[in-house]
Amino acid sequence: MSSIGVRVSGNVISELSDKIPSHIVALNELTKNAYDAFATEVIIKLDTINNKLIIKDNGLGMDDKNIRKLFHISNSEKKYGKLIKNKEKNLQRYTQGSKGLGFLSVFKFGSNVTWITNKNNKKIIFSVNKDDLISRKNVASYRLITKEEPSTEIGTTIFIELERFYTDVLEKYFSQEKNIKKIINAFYDEQFKITLETNHGLYESEKHSNFINIANEDQLFYITYSSTKAKIKFFYCGDLIKEIPYIIHTEEYELDVELMAYSLQAYGKRKISQLYYREHDDALTPLIYINNNLFHNYTLFDANLFRQKKSGESLPQLIGYIKIISSHTQLEFNSDRTQFVQNQLTLNIENTLKELNKIIQKEGSNLRHFLKEEDDQKIKTGSAFPYEKKLETNDNSKNKILPQPAQIKLREKIKKIHIPSKQIDLLREITYAINSEGKQIDLSKDIQIEINNNKIINSILESQEQPCEKLITYIYNDYITGKLVEKLILKFELPEAKILAKNKKSLFNLPSTKDYSINIPYVSNLILQLEKLHKEKGDYYNGIIACTLRSIFELCCDYLKNNKSTIFKTYSGTLKLESCIAYIISFIGVNDNLKHEISKITGINYTTLNNLLDKNAFLNAIKKAHLGVHKSTAFLTDLEVKDLAKKAGIFATLSDALLYNVTDNIIIQCKIPNP
């Protein structure tokens, strides 16, 4: 008798990671890992310049044993939905991961991944290459090399090198507010903060309880249900107006519902946070959280379902939360976590939510009709949440009202803005503001704004042309609860335009060993815009591209003349565009020390740089750009435009190096080229 071992090909890694249906599901999986590690904060950073996705948490970290478990594929000791307590951090959470496939999510974005994790005063660093893994005939032969060093830090950071395609996909996804909101609010847990940092700004998860203050003036009903109390409650203008018994005959799950129904006028939906917009059609919707994690399903409790039958018998303008808690083994989902796997438990949940939705829609519609009749067809709206809670005094003789704190909610805490910027109306950064009575604050009258601790008369911040930071302070004095202060940091930055090294797909590319970021104002913006235009429209707009490329040459020359006058100190010419370009190329060409320095800064080989410094080639390119401006675009072929772009990119790189990276000491020592 002989025994035969089982071998598993590395292709299984690729197949399993490919089963993760979308990048957003993969991102949610990585966030769940931080949640299970009892992190209180996770930071997701999309670095489009360096094509990296970084996920950093302050959780428990991993030691050798934990890392072995991480890479034991499809094996997990976790039980989904089980309530786990951590005494060290005084936290308790419902377990999210249980399949043993969480780490494969990193390979949805790129092949090269590095982990840096800290636990028990030890830092462990390790990297994995997906291509190396899947090339193995037997994946068990793969050996993970770790580096260890002492550490006082906590948590885990994952660095994923993105393929450019995935960078673009994520940047496009995060350009929409409704998508950002759902990522940063993926957990219903105020002891877990998600921060997202992109080129557009920095975003933080919100307090879920804030939803009761959205569009107060248009609120119709505040509706609650708890399976433990078995009652549906309707509140109108802060008063409980109806209770309906509703019992769920099961102990396999718990259900809590908290909704706000609206009577919005035309365009009123704009007042509602896009967190509550459905992904496919932007209709308002409550959100479903299962074991505190967002379940991307919009059919289980569809507020618009009954509208299709008769609009007068429905409450379609609903937002809020439906929370399901269960650790039952039958609670299973499809791969993209948008539907249940059908079984006895999940069918029971589906039917319960459908019945609950039907009751809320029907009873809410009846209440609305009744209120219309009472108010002569004009229904009153206003803060529906019961803000005023009564406290009894010691002598039980009187009731006192407990005021709720005033609130100001900002779109972001930190916002990045490219310079030169437009004027900014600082009041537009406020999403909502309510006083201690739950009424909306008059922003223009009652909010005082300070910029860097100096009061301003109006709410307008003038355009900024230089990199800087502005501390914006919003102050409101509530007559009951006192002073309220919210702060916003505006970061005005130069946009970085990256000229890619040896990238044939890019309009601008550099014969270099590394990419180079352009920081010259306006030039960086133009490069980014031209790359996008060329990528989306091909050669259709060659004439516009040629004109803009000429502008890049002009801007580079202007910034050099205005900021590096030592380069031109003995030049006596008129310094028209062509003369300026020829002079700069010659200036670099005759100074060996300068060429060595620029070679080191840009990564362009010294010999290659020497060959590039052909002033006649640059002057011919400018003539073609001039032709694109004043003649016909028919004179410029696609190859000529690409060559012109390459010359403009190289000239911008050389100019940027002279402006920001070459020291004045080196420039002062340079000799002047012959005329």
Whether 200 and 317 share a structural domain: no
Dist. CA 292–CA 32, nearest whole Å: 11
Query: Residue 501 pLDDT more than 70?
Result: no
CATH at residue 441? 2.60.40.10
Q: Do 456 and 541 have their domain in common? A: no
Structural domain range at position 547? 498-668
Q: Highest-confidence range of 33-42, 94-103, 494-503, 510-519, by mean pLDDT?
A: 33-42
What pLDDT shows up at residue 75? 57
pLDDT of 395 strictly over 60? no
Using CA atoms, how far residue 270 sits from 107, 249, 277, 284, in Å, is 37, 40, 10, 11
Q: Which two tokens stand for residue 79?
A: 């039980």
Mean pLDDT of 357-386: 83
Mean of the pLDDT values across residues 530-545?
A: 79
pLDDT band at 500 (very low <50, low <70, confident <90, very high): low
464 and 552 together in one domain: no
Q: Which two tokens stand for residue 468?
A: 């800087």
Question: CA-CA distance, 617 to 304, in Å (whole number)?
Answer: 65
Average pLDDT over residues 148-163: 92
Q: State whether 177 and 220 are in the same domain.
A: no
In a domain, residue 169? The reply is yes
Q: What is the pLDDT of residues 587-618, one digit of tens each?
A: 999 999 999 999 989 888 888 888 889 989 89
Burial of 423 (0-12, 13-18, 19+ CB in 10 A): exposed
pLDDT mean over 146-161: 93
Q: Which of 14-28, 290-304, 626-640 has the lowest mean pLDDT?
A: 626-640
- DSSP bridge pairs for 157: 56, 116
At residue 310, the pLDDT reads 55
Same domain, 651 and 572: yes
Residue 222: the pLDDT is: 96
Residue by residue, DSSP assigns 133-153 as HHT-SSGGG----EEEEE---
Whether 277 is in a domain gets the answer: yes
Within a domain: residue 199? Answer: yes
Say whether pLDDT at 403 is over 90. Answer: no
Whether residue 171 sits in one domain with residue 66: yes
**CATH number of domain containing 196:** 3.30.565.10
Q: Do the domain assignments include residue 383?
A: no
Quote the pLDDT of residue 572: 61
Which among 246, 503, 489, 471 is positioned nearest to 353, based on CA atoms? 246
User: At residue 517, what are phi and psi to the nearest 5 degrees?
Assistant: -95, 125
Answer whether 316's CB lies under 8 Å from 221's CB.
no
Residues 510 and 474 in one domain: no
Q: Is 252 domain-assigned? A: yes
Contact 457, 448 (CB under 8 A): no
Say whether both 217 and 274 belong to one domain.
yes
* pLDDT (average), residues 522-536: 84
Which of these ranges, 221-230, 350-359, 496-505, has the smallest mean pLDDT?
Answer: 496-505
Q: What is the pLDDT of residues 228-249, one digit of tens each?
A: 999 999 999 888 999 999 999 8
Other C-beta atoms closer than 10 Å to the C-beta of 29 total 21
State the pLDDT at residue 93.
94
pLDDT of residue 486: 93
Residue 550, in any domain of the structure: yes
Is the whole model's pTM more than 0.75, yes or no?
A: no
Q: Give the chain's mean pLDDT.
A: 84
387 within some domain: no
Last residue of a domain, one of 374, 391, 425: 374
pLDDT at 10: 56
Q: Would the pLDDT of 3 be above 90?
A: no
Q: How confident is the model at residue 227 (pLDDT cuts 50, 70, 90)?
A: very high
Look at residue 134 in the predicted model and tell me its pLDDT: 78
Last residue of a domain, one of 374, 396, 417: 374
DSSP 38: T
Q: Is the pLDDT reported for residue 4 higher than 70?
A: no
Furthest-apart CA pair in the chain: how many Å? Answer: 99
Cα 663 to Cα 312: distance, rounded to the nearest angstrom = 73
The answer to whether position 450 is within a domain reads: yes
Confidence band of 352 (pLDDT split at 50, 70, 90):
very high
The CATH number that applies at residue 338 is 3.30.230
At residue 157, φ and ψ (nearest 5 deg) are -125, 135
The number of CA neighbours under 13 Å toward the Cβ of 423 is 6
**CA–CA dist 3, 614 (Å, integer):** 71
Residues whose CB falls within 8 Å of the CB of residue 505, separated by 6 or more in sequence, listed in order: none
The values of phi and psi at residue 507, to 5°, are -65, -40
> In this structure, are 439 and 539 located in the same domain?
no
CA distance 439 to 431: 14
DSSP 446-491: H-EEEETTEE-SSSEEPP--S-EEEEEEEEEEETTTEEEEEEEEEE
Give me the pLDDT at residue 394, please: 45
- Per DSSP, the residues of 506-526 read SSSEESSSS-EEE-STTHHHH
For the cut 90, the answer to whether the pLDDT of residue 376 exceeds it is no
Return d(Cα 198, Cα 53) in angstroms, integer: 10
**What are 305-326's pLDDT values in tens digits?**
766 555 556 788 999 999 999 9
Q: Specify the range with the lowest mean pLDDT, choosing from 262-271, 463-472, 567-576.
A: 567-576
Residue 169 parent element (H or E) = helix 164-173
Total structural domains within the chain: 4
Which residue among 469, 493, 517 closes a domain?
493
Lowest mean pLDDT among 75-89, 97-111, 193-207, 250-264: 97-111
Q: Is 167 in the same domain as 298? A: no
Residue 151 has which token pair? Answer: 């550490």
Please tell me whether residues 367 and 489 are part of one structural domain. no
Same domain, 199 and 222: no
Residue 392 pLDDT: 41
582, 619 in Cβ contact below 8 A? Answer: yes
Q: Name the one residue in this structure whose structure tokens are 């070679």.
A: 599
Q: Is residue 156 within 8 Å of residue 37, measured between CB atoms?
A: yes
Torsion angle defined by CA atoms of residues 33, 35, 37 and 39, in that order, rounded to the nearest 10 degrees: 130
pLDDT band with cut points at 50, 70 and 90 for residue 85? very high
pLDDT the model gives residue 473: 95
Mean pLDDT of 355-380: 82
Tokens of 602: 């840009």
pLDDT, position 353: 95
